[in-house]
């Protein structure tokens, strides 16, 4: 059996967490990531019949959330209370490789070495995976973090989805190309609950980026790079928005320019035309 610490999925995951920390998106124990792994991938590194510990589906109200679609699926997940700062140096304490068991508990196959368990946001992650897999069978990553500028923007910008997305599109030419569907926006809600998980998953049916106002962001994607890149692009746009601040805007990316980009990148079918002012 190969050494799981050298598994490409684990190395990339730990490096991504380190990068997120470096960018200031994951202070203290802020943020969490879950990565859907393929069974063949896991089997190269672990005996999948060897469950080292059983974990409860903590915090999940089974009436509100049915995890059945994910039974038998494997995930690499950050641990509750763990710091992104420490993931790269000690993956085995800060991360876990788990499988959703038939009895709707969690089989721990590796990690959480100090007796830990899955992130407190596990319900929101799993509900988001279910929602994204329905619209994109290749979705594998759900990522939550607290990017500074995006958070700041949710204090001063109207929390209307169309207006928020439009403002972000105006902040850099790439934006409409990277997230033509815009961003979903949730009001402040209590984190760690089934309610915020359900609300996030509902948004995930049409968005890969969902803002948790005054808290952070959820993003989903086919791989770690794509998901990280989505957050990076949104955070860059929010940074420009904040740098502009109260100064008078004398130039902007017009809707005509946005339409040219939509045509150039052939994204007419995915762009949210209803978020345009002149439809
Ligand atoms: O786990 O970010 O939303 C820390 C968080 C909770
Ligand atoms: Zn958070």
102-129 pLDDT, tens digit per residue, is: 998 999 999 999 999 999 888 889 999 9
pTM above 0.85, yes or no: yes
Please say which residue of 69, 94, 118 terminates a domain. Answer: 118
How far, in Å, CA of 40 to CA of 2, rounded?
Answer: 13
Domain boundary, last residue among 76, 101, 118: 118
Please provide the DSSP assignment of 24-91 as one string. Answer: TS--TT--EEEEEEPHHHHHTTS-TT---EEE--TT--TTT---GGGTT-EEEEEBTT--HHHHTT-H
Start-end of H helices in 144-223: 148-156, 161-171, 175-178, 194-204
| 226-237 tens-digit pLDDT | 999 999 999 999
Are 84 and 195 in the same domain? Answer: no
Do 164 and 275 lie in a common domain? yes
Ligand nearest to the CA of 120: 1
How many structural domains compose the chain? 2
Separation of CA 216 and ligand 2 centre (Å): 6
Average pLDDT over residues 150-167: 98
148 and 271, same structural domain?
A: yes
Q: Say which CATH number the domain at 259 has.
A: 3.40.225.10
Which of 90, 118, 146 finishes a domain? 118
CA–CA separation, 180 and 185 (whole Å): 15
pLDDT grade for 62, boundaries at 50, 70 and 90 = low
Same domain assignment for residues 62 and 146: no
**Domain range spanning residue 114?**
1-118
| Residue 126 shares a structural domain with residue 264 | yes
* Residues whose beta carbon lies within 6 Å of some atom of ligand 1: 29-32, 119-121, 144, 191
């Amino acid at each position: 059996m190969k050494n799981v610490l050298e598994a490409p999925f684990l190395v990339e995951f730990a490096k991504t967490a380190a990068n997120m920390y470096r960018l200031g998106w994951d202070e203290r124990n802020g943020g969490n990531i879950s990565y859907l792994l393929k069974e063949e991938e896991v089997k190269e590194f672990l005996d999948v019949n060897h469950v080292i510990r059983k974990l409860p589906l903590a915090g999940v109200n089974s009436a509100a959330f049915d995890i059945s679609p994910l039974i038998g699926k494997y995930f690499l997940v950050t641990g509750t209370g763990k710091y992104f700062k420490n993931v790269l140096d000690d993956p085995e304490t800060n991360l876990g490789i788990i499988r959703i068991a038939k009895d709707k508990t969690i089989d721990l196959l590796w990690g959480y070495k100090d007796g830990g368990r899955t992130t407190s946001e596990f319900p929101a992650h799993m509900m988001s995976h279910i929602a994204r897999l329905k619209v994109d069978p290749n979705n594998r990553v759900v990522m939550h973090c607290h990017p500074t500028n995006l958070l700041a923007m949710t204090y001063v910008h109207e929390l209307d989805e169309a207006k928020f997305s439009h403002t972000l599109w105006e902040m850099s030419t790439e934006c409409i190309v990277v997230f033509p569907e815009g961003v979903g926006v949730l009001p402040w809600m209590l984190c760690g609950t089934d309610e915020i998980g359900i609300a996030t998953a509902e948004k995930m049916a049409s968005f890969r980026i969902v803002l948790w106002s005054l808290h952070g962001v959820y993003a989903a994607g086919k791989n770690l790079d794509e998901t990280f890149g989505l957050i990076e692009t949104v955070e860059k746009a929010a940074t420009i928005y904040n740098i502009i601040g109260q100064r008078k805007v004398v130039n902007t990316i017009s809707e005509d320019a946005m339409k040219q980009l939509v045509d150039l990148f052939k994204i007419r079918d995915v762009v949210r035309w209803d978020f345009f002012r002149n439809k």
